[in-house]
Homo-oligomer: A and B are copies of this chain.
Amino acid sequence: MIKKILIANRGEIAIRVMNTCREMGIQTVAVYSEADYSSLHVSYADEAYCIGPAPSAESYLNIEKIIEVAKKTGADAIHPGYGFLSENAKFSQRCKDENIIFIGPAPYAIDTMGDKITARKTMMDAGVPVVPGTKEPITDLDDAVKVIKEIGLPVMVKASAGGGGKGMRLVEKEEDIISSVKAAKSEALSAFGNDAVYVEKYISSPHHIEFQVLADNHGNCVHLFERECSVQRRHQKVVEETPSPIMTEEVRKEMGKHAVAAAQAVNYSGAGTIEFITDDNLNYYFLEMNTRLQVEHPITEEVVGLDLVKEQIKIANGEKLSFKQEDLGQRGHAIEVRIYAEDPDNNFMPNPGKIEHIQFPLGPGIRNDTYVYNGFEIPIYYDPMISKLVVWGANRSDAIQRMKRALKVFKINGVKTSIPFLYQIMEVESFVKGRYTTHFIQNNEQELKMRADCNMECAEIGTIVAFLDYMNKREAKLSSINEESASSKWKESGRKFRFLI
């Protein structure tokens, strides 16, 4: 039985893991970099040890140091959170060698899923759909045409030696096949001296839909349904929700089976996520597997009613899953937004600094996964995420309304945050209707720049309040000076002086 867990991470996920440990009566060990001395995860743990300077390479990625702390404190297990060492096969192996339980999959699963080509091949063998495409470069025109017809339009033809968009052609109509392949080949030849091309299915309205899986060490594996993560900016997820607004019960079942097959193909153990790229018609293809807990795992917890970290720990403990696929169901709707210290009106420039004041939204259906507090200085070395705000509602429209309510009363002072941008997402028609793809943010750039109106009166009163604040401070300063000059009379008489030295 695991009695003490070292959390090899920081920020909200360290707190998240510790919460479950506390509930399970498991002792926690925090590790922290010098820059994280004042971080909440330090005081939240039973024990805490500094493992090096601010840069991750010298602290949170420092395997030797982390193993050393685990051994010193007698931790039975290490939870890697997400990021940092969570998908590091060497670290998983090293834990094994040191007889410490790594709360995550075995090195083999991490390695196999970590390499795109091996993963793709493994999935094909397991019968999991992958994005159709050629496996070898093609030089012959007829071969290319044949392959394209097999895959079906639209396709992307890419120079096999290529990069930077050169020798790349999107083919959407049958009559363009030959001319496009020719153009791609000749462009490829002149640019790279090699006219070989790849052909890949092109998904024009892609959705990012992922399935949560849980597998124990006794051959049992279930999925916990999907998460829709298509609201992305620069391939970073911004909003996640479950259920997916485009999912059908039939496809859900089928995708779930494929997700389980994918996990079983690498003999997976623990919590993992199978990411699929999906088109408007719910054709779906394996993209990659994340062999760890995801940032967005809370929405699954809210809708399925399980604690994923608890399941991870139980699996690591060698326990069997206590439920079967048919015991699991989805209830209501959950949405997560990631709140960053960044300036949405200035190209999302990171905006680290001191949190002067923070007031979390509270009340029904709201969950805050966070690690900041009043006065906390966000370190510049790590991810600028302040908080994950999660809401649950009886249905999608209730959840959206609740998210808007929560964002409206979420006050963070001192740094700029993505809150007004996230609020605006909840207002955009295609989001409200649930008809959006991974192009959502770029397709709605203008609408997303709009801000709920601070009308004339609101702005004028705000201005006056700043003036009043200034005048109040000025008065306070004046009267404190008068007071001190009064106190200096005491000083002269020697009476108060005695108590002050």
- A residues within 8 Å of B by Cβ? 15-16, 19-20, 22-25, 44, 298, 301, 305-307, 331-332, 359-360, 362-370, 373-374, 394, 398, 401-402, 404-405, 408-409, 474, 477-478, 481, 484-485, 487-488, 491, 500-501
Contacts of A16 in B (CB 8 A): 363-364
Say whether B363 contacts A369, CB under 8 Å: yes
Contacts of A306 in B (CB 8 A): 394
* Minimum C-beta distance from A438 to chain B (A): 28
Contacts of A485 in B (CB 8 A): 484, 488, 491
Q: Closest B-chain residue to A391, C-beta based?
A: B23
* Minimum C-beta distance from A71 to chain B (A): 24
10 smallest A-B Cβ distances: which pairs? Answer: A484-B484, A23-B401, A362-B368, A22-B405, A19-B363, A23-B405, A23-B402, A305-B394, A305-B332, A478-B500
Please report whether the interface of chain A is mostly helix, strand, loop or mixed according to DSSP. helix
Given A331-B331, A359-B373, A478-B500, check contact A364 B307 (CB 8 Å). yes
Question: How far is B307's CA from A500's CA once the two chains are assembled, in angstroms?
Answer: 58
Say whether B394 contacts A307, CB under 8 Å: yes
Question: How far is B477's CA from A149's CA once the two chains are assembled, in angstroms?
Answer: 82
Contacts of A405 in B (CB 8 A): 19, 22-23
Contacts of A409 in B (CB 8 A): 44
- 16 A-B pairs within 8 Å (CB atoms) are namely A22-B408, A23-B398, A301-B364, A307-B365, A331-B331, A362-B370, A364-B369, A365-B367, A478-B500, A481-B487, A481-B488, A481-B491, A484-B488, A485-B488, A485-B491, A488-B488
Question: How far is B365's CA from A487's CA once the two chains are assembled, in angstroms?
Answer: 53
Q: Closest B-chain residue to A357, C-beta based?
A: B374
Q: Closest B-chain residue to A488, C-beta based?
A: B485
Contacts of A359 in B (CB 8 A): 373
Question: How far is B301's CA from A374's CA once the two chains are assembled, in angstroms?
Answer: 31
Contacts of A373 in B (CB 8 A): 359
Q: Closest B-chain residue to A409, C-beta based?
A: B44
Contacts of A24 in B (CB 8 A): 401
Contacts of A374 in B (CB 8 A): 374
Question: How far is B301's CA from A429's CA once the two chains are assembled, in angstroms?
Answer: 29
* Minimum C-beta distance from A127 to chain B (A): 33
Q: Closest B-chain residue to A487, C-beta based?
A: B481
Question: How far is B480's CA from A481's CA once the two chains are assembled, in angstroms?
Answer: 11
Question: How far is B488's CA from A470's CA once the two chains are assembled, in angstroms?
Answer: 22
Say whether B370 contacts A307, CB under 8 Å: no
Contacts of A20 in B (CB 8 A): 364
Question: How far is B404's CA from A20's CA once the two chains are assembled, in angstroms?
Answer: 12
Contacts of A481 in B (CB 8 A): 484, 487-488, 491, 500
